[in-house]
A and B are shown apart, each in its own frame.
Chain A
Amino acid sequence: MTPDEARAILLEELSNIAPEWDPAEIDPAEDIREAMDIDSMDVLNLVIALHKRTGVDIPESDYVKMITIEGAVAYLTAKSGG
């Protein structure tokens, strides 16, 4: 998965979870939980959706790496073998 592919999937799933926001307008370095008012249930639903879409295994201990858009893109790219 290229970073662009990872970003496209991430933004699509983020907008499913928080349709009130346009994730393309969120600062990629900002904590999405703050920027998009996302709670732990939303984070879990995001992880479930990303796991389903990409097959990437995201253990609970790695959730902290997923809390910014740029962090999540880097994580998904690396874990999918780039």
Chain B
Amino acid sequence: MPSLGSDMEAGTLVEWLKRPGENLRRGDVVAVVETQKGAIEIEIFQDGILEEYLVDIGQTVPVGTPLARVRGPGEAAAAVEEAPRAVAEPVATPLPMPVAPAPSALKAAVTGMPASPAARQAAAERGLDLAGLSGSGPGGSVVLADVEAAAPVAAQVPRKAGGLDLDGMRKAIAAAMSRSKREIPHYYLSHDIDLAAATSWLERTNAAREPAERLLMGALFLKAVALALTKHKAFNGFYGDGGFTPSEAVHVGAAVSIRGGGLVAPAIHDTDQLDLDAIMAKMRDLVARVRAGTLRSSELADPTVTVSSLGERGVEGMYSIIYPPQVAILGIGKVRERPWIVEGEVAPRPLVTMTLAGDHRVSDGHRGTLLLNEIDRLLQEPEAL
């Protein structure tokens, strides 16, 4: 079970998309896992042959639990744990595809607690573990009344939006942000950027385009941030047990808010290498899939930095909390007209306030200043983005 962000503790396997015996290529989607962030497609990070499932459909397992055994190219079958048999059996025998059992049968197998189907469903809805209940039914089995007695409030059904568990997501955000505030010594910088050049370039560009080809200012922000990060590496990477490891690749996590609450910041891979049209297409695709709850594991696990943009209905500025193990987050307020001094005269200009929250274990305010100034400079030449 891969970690899809520091706010994830466990996931539920809901579907296998590859069978034992199948050849896998790096990047193939092999399974679907249900998390608070929806049904996530799990990608494999190596070539090989799927040898054996280690987790059944419907099982919830902690992060770090192996989901399947994969044999790398040239490796002997089952070499890791079953060496003796591996010698005799160079090619793994494909196992039959498991048929998803009915939820009630499955839970019985998992918990070992006898219970009526209605009790199981009610317990699942309330998030109760049947093993923790005392049964008053035949043979000590748990019946609906036992569940209702243990958790009388029926209103504990998680709120769902698409495939998203919004209450679960709120808890996960709370856990990640609490950890961040406990562990990361944040510092904050704020900088107002004149967007006159970027705004007029965008208007001219979009005027000549069909709606489906038009760009949003958000695409320019993401590209400018990504390009600046290629020079200022102390803000792009991960902080782990061994300290900070900068990332060569710039995978900007673009925060997408969800109606009804919650947000997810999936990666736009290699943002610095993409042109504005490609970034725009990725943004459109990610927004749609965040809301539908169908992201891929690499999109959740890979962001090396986060950009959170409030959009046109936002406020001037936002001071964000770093998403561990990342070391920086940029907050972008709403673009608004304000008086500004241009060549000694007061003039109305479109401004945006960009804030940086940085990790003081890795960088300091001076370096943060250089990063924000570089982003500003890049946004003054939008045609070069």
Chain A positions near chain B (C-beta within 8 angstroms): 18, 20, 33-34, 37, 39-41, 44-45, 47-48, 51-52, 58-61
Contacts and interface: CB of A to CB of B under 8 A. Distances in A.
A48 B211 contact: yes
Given A47-B211, A48-B212, A59-B207, A39 B260 contact: no
- By Cβ-Cβ distance, the 5 closest A-B pairs, closest first, are A48-B211, A47-B211, A39-B311, A37-B259, A51-B211
A33 B312 CA distance: 10
A18 B214 CA distance: 21
Interface of B: 161, 203, 206-207, 210-212, 214, 216-218, 257, 259-260, 283-284, 287, 311-313
Contact of B216 (A20, A34, A41, A52): A41
A40 B161 contact: no
A42 to B, nearest CB: 8
A39 B214 contact: no
B259 A44 contact: no
A48 B280 CA distance: 14
Q: In terms of DSSP, what is the predominant structure of the interface of chain A? A: helix
Nearest to A36: B259
Nearest to A59: B207
A60 B206 contact: yes
B313 A33 contact: yes
A65 B246 CA distance: 46
A51 B217 CA distance: 21
A44 B210 contact: no
A41 B214 contact: no
A41 B206 contact: no
Contacts of A39: 257, 311-313
A20 B260 contact: yes
Contacts of B218: 40-41
A41 B207 contact: no
Nearest to B311: A39
